[in-house]
């Protein structure tokens, strides 16, 4: 191979084929002081791709708050790290694997899990959490069902093999995701604060060591050809750019790397993710202000005829790059051999500040590491407000939105809608109790875990309503942060930090860039108000197919903490006679609601804004009531409004920790094995339904900052004292096996909880 390889130069045509522009090629020529070699050009094409360089988003992301007293590591490393007390910290991160999953759903989703888990343990943290946020087109389309099955199967396969609990997530279905599904993978891990490792190369003469799987051609061009372009008729041709995962090798890699880190056998470590060896080596070199010499011919290969540019940009999975001293090299090799992993010295740290690639003694690339990793061109597209954006909510009248004749039937129709219906059929494919720390399982507002040998705990949520962000990206993104925090507060946890995955269309289009700017501003304002800094994240652009963009979907993942995890609660009604109280806003809106889509087939209007001052007060007093052990349950009102939230509290009252009954038709209720219902009165039409004065809006309209709680009758007085001036009122009481709703004593509907349950669990029959 050495004799046959020609270290050829590359022209502008080659640059364009690799995804670069003519201007970028000219800039590269200036840096390289002449035409680059093909290896150099291939390396630039990956590192200057949108996926790796963030060239469109970097000017905007600086708006995020990133510091706080708990933050030990903010953006810029493999994962953010947050102090959670008693010497413990949590590393967390979310990333997209959208395009690979659209091309090959099983492997795309599986390797998305594997990649984000590597970001966690490369910091020295033991992964203890997996979550996901998924978006597909409508399930009436066979291809969408194929994608859904493949993605859920890939997540289950990889996570279950690793022994990492998948404790929560969300799945939505909208037409805008039909050509470009979204697969956002989130992970977190526990670490002692004195064991944190960062991906910074240092120590002139230290070895560069490649650990893990052999390198093949899978994933070549994944970050540029696949992740940084729109989809078109060439979709199937991009299948070779999808990586192939091996979770059993990753499990060995986790154990070996954590041993190396905790025994202080490595100087630093970085996983080989997007752009493979290129990104890890250049980023470690740039952060450490040193150079790296990489001998590509020493890299263990699965395919013998690979060229050096292929080796450098391959995205083969389950590989880590470590900096190791000469004194520790033998011990590192012994650890890797014990875990049956390849451990190969492929280079050395130098003082050159250059990334130099060698091939059988010939230098085939010589690139300034900082120019490559941190100084890509920055592009700021002039933003344009889309024409469809309106400034006023829709006018709800009987002509455009005729009220339903049967409100009970409207409720069961909503409960059966794919965006609201139970996703138990999905999360029961995941192992959510492995490691024996899970205290609140999927299906709740938030996932809760204990921290062993302490009284402390942690909780996680992820949220985003893409339809709301489409109608108003500023308000929708702000609401996503507020809801993620509210879900944690409903479980009794204090929200402390955010990781985000910002999914948008083509940033070269002014309308998309406007959506992005507005969403970032909304997230930033909400994070500042709620004191939840952004510690890590991912931007995924070019989520378009045939020119049609997805809904803007800035997914928010959030961490909450407990000083005493025993105070956590869930949303299930507990005892007949408990009083049901609504905290927060009263009126519901039609705009952007699930009711608007399901009942009327429309998506229009302007979603309500979040009153951040009220949101902060509600969450603070809700947590105080939970910590004082005044509440039996708490549940956020989200899609489907107040009526759906009440129905969900009734349905889960009959479950044992969220598990499905052997006989779903058998009557159940809270503590004695039968379902509990509720009798509620919505009050006056003017207060409950807003200006429109319609019962259906009171029931199914949506608004932020609303929570349903239950309290024992004898504790109503103490609860009122804690809530103080926070808007709240009694809705009714927990009763037998019916949900009965009235307005000013006029009955609106009565539906048995069995009927509600049947509708809520009906989605698998349609898959």
- List, by residue number, the catalytic residues: 51, 97
Q: Other C-beta atoms within 10 Å of 464: how many?
A: 32
- As a whole number of angstroms, the distance between CA 136 and CA 178 comes to 6
- As a whole number of angstroms, the distance between CA 313 and CA 272 comes to 10
- State how far the alpha carbon of 240 is from the alpha carbons of 63, 143, 218, 752, in Å: 37, 20, 6, 52
Q: At what angle do helices 38-47 and 22-32 cross, to 10 degrees?
A: 120
Q: Other C-beta atoms within 10 Å of 3: how many?
A: 5
Could you give phi then psi for residue 259, rounded to 5 degrees? -65, -45
389: helix, coil or strand? Answer: coil
Residue 240 carries which DSSP code?
G
Which residues are registered as beta bridge partners of 191?
89
- As a whole number of angstroms, the distance between CA 18 and CA 451 comes to 47
Q: CB-based contacts of 575: which residues, under 8 Å, 6+ apart? A: 632, 670, 671, 676, 712, 734
Residue matched to tokens 């503590």: 671
Q: For residues 116, 120, 123 and 124, what is the CA-based torsion angle, rounded to 10 degrees? A: -140
Go through the chain and tell me how many residues it has.
767
Contact 155, 161 (CB under 8 A): no
- As a whole number of angstroms, the distance between CA 519 and CA 242 comes to 29
- As a whole number of angstroms, the distance between CA 401 and CA 700 comes to 13
Q: H/E element holding 695?
A: helix 695-700
- As a whole number of angstroms, the distance between CA 593 and CA 604 comes to 9
Closest of 426, 217, 368 to residue 303, by C-alpha = 217
* Distance from chain centroid for Cα 617: 26
Q: H/E element holding 43?
A: helix 38-47
- State how far the alpha carbon of 659 is from the alpha carbons of 171, 440, 449, 608, in Å: 19, 11, 17, 35
- As a whole number of angstroms, the distance between CA 67 and CA 497 comes to 10
Contact 749, 403 (CB under 8 A): no
Q: CB-based contacts of 666: which residues, under 8 Å, 6+ apart? A: none
- As a whole number of angstroms, the distance between CA 347 and CA 636 comes to 54
Closest of 689, 653, 648 to residue 668, by C-alpha = 653
Cα angle 463, 428, 88; round to 5: 60
Q: What sign has the CA pseudo-torsion 503, 508, 511, 513?
A: positive
* Distance from chain centroid for Cα 760: 25
Q: Which two tokens stand for residue 545?
A: 């197919």
- As a whole number of angstroms, the distance between CA 639 and CA 678 comes to 19
């Amino acid at each position: 191979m050495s004799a046959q390889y020609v270290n050829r130069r590359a022209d502008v045509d080659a640059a364009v084929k690799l995804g670069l522009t003519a201007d970028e090629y000219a800039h590269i020529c200036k840096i390289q002081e002449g035409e680059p070699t093909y290896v150099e050009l291939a390396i630039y094409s990956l590192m200057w791709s949108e996926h790796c360089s963030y060239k469109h988003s970097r000017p905007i992301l600086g708006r995020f708050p990133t510091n706080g007293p708990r933050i030990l590591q903010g953006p810029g490393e493999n994962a953010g790290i947050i102090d959670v007390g008693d010497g413990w910290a949590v590393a967390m991160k979310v990333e997209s694997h959208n395009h690979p999953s659209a091309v090959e759903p099983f492997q795309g989703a599986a390797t998305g899990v594997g990649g984000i888990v590597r970001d966690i343990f490369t910091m020295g943290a033991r992964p203890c959490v997996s979550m996901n946020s998924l978006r597909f087109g409508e399930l009436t389309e066979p291809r969408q069902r194929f994608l859904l099955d493949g993605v859920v199967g890939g997540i289950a396969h990889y996570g279950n093999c690793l022994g990492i609990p998948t404790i929560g997530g969300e799945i939505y279905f909208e037409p805008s995701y039909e050509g470009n599904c979204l697969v956002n993978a989130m992970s977190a891990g526990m670490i002692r604060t004195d064991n944190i490792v960062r991906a910074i190369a240092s120590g002139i003469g230290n070895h560069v060591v490649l650990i893990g799987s052999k390198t093949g051609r899978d994933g070549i061009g994944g970050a540029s050809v696949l992740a940084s372009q729109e989809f078109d008729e060439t979709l199937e041709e991009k299948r070779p750019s999808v990586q192939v995962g091996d979770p059993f090798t990753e499990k060995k890699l986790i154990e070996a790397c954590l041993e190396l880190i905790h025994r202080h056998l490595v100087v630093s470590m970085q996983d080989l993710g997007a752009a493979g060896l290129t990104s890890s080596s250049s980023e470690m070199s740039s952060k450490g202000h040193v150079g790296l010499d990489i001998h590509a011919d020493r890299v263990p290969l699965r395919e013998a005829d690979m060229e050096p540019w292929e080796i450098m940009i391959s995205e083969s999975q389950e590989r880590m790059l470590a900096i190791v001293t000469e004194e520790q090299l033998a011990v590192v090799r012994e650890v890797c051999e014990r875990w049956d992993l390849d451990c190969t010295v492929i280079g050395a740290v130098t003082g050159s500040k250059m990334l130099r690639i060698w091939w059988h003694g010939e230098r085939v690339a010589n690139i300034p590491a900082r120019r490559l990793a941190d100084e890509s061109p920055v592009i700021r597209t002039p933003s344009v407000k889309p024409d469809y954006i309106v400034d006023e909510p829709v006018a709800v009248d009987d002509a455009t939105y005729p009220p339903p004749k049967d409100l009970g039937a409207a409720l069961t129709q909503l409960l059966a809608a794919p965006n609201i219906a139970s996703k138990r059929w999905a999360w029961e494919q995941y192992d959510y109790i492995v490691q024996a720390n899970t205290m609140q399982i999927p299906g709740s507002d938030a996932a809760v875990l204990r921290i062993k040998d302490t009284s402390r705990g942690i909780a996680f949520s992820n949220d985003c309503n893409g339809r709301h962000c489409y109608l108003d990206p500023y308000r929708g993104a702000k609401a996503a942060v507020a809801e993620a925090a509210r879900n944690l507060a409903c479980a009794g946890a204090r929200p402390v930090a955010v990781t985000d995955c910002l999914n948008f269309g083509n940033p070269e289009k002014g309308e998309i860039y406007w959506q992005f700017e507005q969403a970032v501003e909304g997230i930033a304002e909400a994070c500042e108000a709620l004191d939840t800094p952004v510690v890590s994240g991912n931007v995924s652009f070019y989520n378009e197919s045939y020119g049609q963009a997805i809904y803007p979907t800035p997914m928010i993942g959030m961490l909450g903490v407990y000083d005493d995890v025993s105070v956590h609660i869930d949303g299930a009604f507990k005892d007949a006679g408990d009083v049901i109280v609504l905290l927060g806003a009263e009126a519901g809106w039609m705009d952007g609601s699930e009711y608007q889509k399901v009942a009327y087939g429309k998506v229009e209007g302007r979603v309500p804004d979040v009153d951040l001052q009220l949101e902060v007060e509600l969450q603070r007093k809700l947590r105080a009531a939970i910590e004082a052990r005044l509440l039996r349950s708490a549940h956020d009102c989200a899609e489907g409004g107040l009526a759906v939230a009440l129905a969900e509290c009734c349905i889960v009252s009959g479950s044992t920790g969220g598990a499905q009954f052997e006989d779903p038709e058998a009557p159940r209720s809270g503590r004695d094995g039968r379902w509990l219902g509720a009798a509620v009165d919505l009050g006056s039409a003017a207060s409950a339904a807003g200006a429109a004065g319609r019962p259906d809006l009171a029931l199914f309209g949506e608004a932020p900052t609303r929570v349903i709680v239950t309290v024992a009758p004898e504790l109503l007085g103490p609860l009122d004292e804690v809530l103080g001036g926070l808007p709240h009122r009694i809705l009714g009481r927990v009763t037998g096996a019916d949900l009965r709703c009235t307005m000013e004593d006029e009955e609106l509907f009565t539906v048995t909880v069995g009927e509600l349950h049947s509708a809520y669990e009906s989605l698998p029959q349609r898959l």
